[in-house]
Structure 1
């Protein structure tokens, strides 16, 4: 009997949370005008080096309906198919809460600096964005995420390794929206 009451209560709470987000205009979502979900990464975003000849520009991103309590955002691009622990292509921290988009090439254009955001060193060893360039063979998946954070005060600094940024982002994350694209050569 107690279990039944607990399940009814849990169901009511879940319904209240779902209804609250539905009333607020939908779920936290990430889109890119450059890349439909499930598409192939355009050459504009592919690395220029290491055997690849892309333009190495970070993608334009737009996000909607962040969760209540969002104090700011982080953005990441991660390749889970890379050998070992995966490969960090981009990690940004400290995007202000009123920001809901980044323009094409925000990593190198100064747009992030103007927002007061900081960028990690990617796994290519460069600060900022480093596009995909997997070894020849099967295509890799690239998970692009925007993370809603409960706080953007941090001791992180530009150029710290992306894995350090990821640890801080995980500790402060209250919501995440992602899209996945592929690229192979």
Structure 2
């Protein structure tokens, strides 16, 4: 039995070390997120009714070092501290082609500005498109921005009307690796 366990354990350790080294090469950056914060431009706008008066414009993102075999990307902005018990998805963009190495700022709700084939799916605001951060007054929240490299060109069955949970499930099921930015923002 021990003859079998040692080679398997060694192989698993090597795979974990390889994955950790591999993940270190996959990076995500944004020129608009100065000092690790969203600017007034990216915060939620007043019409949403949560008490913020930002411009609700998405930041730009660029990336490099995607894993071998990447066929597309998915981007998500998620507030893990939202007072819902489930967090809050602020933005999801899927089916970003593997040839892309970024997306510009101020993406329109009609997908104008996204690489060809990419779509925005529904967020926890109930509609597709960017919905900026707006932590409750007196609170600080952690916003996870995750770019996932995918092994498929398009997430199966995902449309602009797909729920955040379904998009998250299909993203995780087809993931090759992730690059993250974490923003801590208060109000």
**TM exceeds 0.5?**
yes
Q: Which residue of 1 aligns with 2:44?
A: 47
Aligned to 1:28: 26
Q: How does 1:54-93 map to 2 (within 5 A)?
A: 54-83=54-83, 84-93=85-94
For residues 9 and 155 of structure 1, the distance between their equivalents in structure 2, rounded to whole angstroms, comes to: 35
Cα distance change on mapping 1:16 and 1:165 into 2, 3 Å: closer
Distance 1:126-1:65 versus aligned 2 partners, 3 A rule: same
- The alignment's TM-score, normalised by the length of structure 1, stands at 0.85
1:44 Cα deviation (Å)?
A: 1.1
Which residue of the partner structure matches residue 127 of structure 2? 126
Mapped partners of 1:182, 1:35: distance in 2: 11
Gap regions ≥5 residues in structure 2:
none
Matches within 5 A, 1:91-106: 91-106=92-107
Are the equivalent residues in 2 in contact too, given 1:58–1:129 (CA < 8 A)? yes
Asked whether the equivalents of residues 75 and 144 of structure 1 are also in contact (C-alpha less than 8 Å), the reply is: yes
Shift of 1:15: 6.2
Measure the CA separation in 2 of the matches of 1:18 and 1:52. Answer: 39
Contact 1:31 1:179 in 2 (8 A): yes
SS of alignment partner, residue 128 of structure 1: coil
Separation (CA, whole Å) in 2 of partners of 1:13 and 1:160: 34
1:151 is matched with 152
Moved over 4 A (4+): 3-19
Deviation string, structure 1 residues 115-136 (Cα, Å, up to 9, x no partner): 2112111112232110011211
Structure 1 vs Structure 2 CA RMSD: 2.3
CA distance in 2, matches of 1:88, 1:4: 43
> SS of the counterpart of 1:56?
coil
Change beyond 3 A, Cα 1:55–1:175: same
Partner deviation per Cα, 1:17-60 (whole Å, 9 max, x = no partner): 677x49xxx61110111115x61211111010221111111110
Query: Counterpart of 2:176?
Result: 174
Quick one: structure 1 residues 178 and 14, their matched pair in 2 at CA, closer, same or farther if it must change by over 3 Å?
A: closer
How many residue pairs match? The answer is 179
Structure 2 length normalisation: TM-score?
0.84
Q: Does 1:161 align with 2:159?
A: no
**Are residues 139 and 116 of structure 1, via their aligned partners in 2, closer, same or farther at CA, if it must alter by over 3 Å?**
same
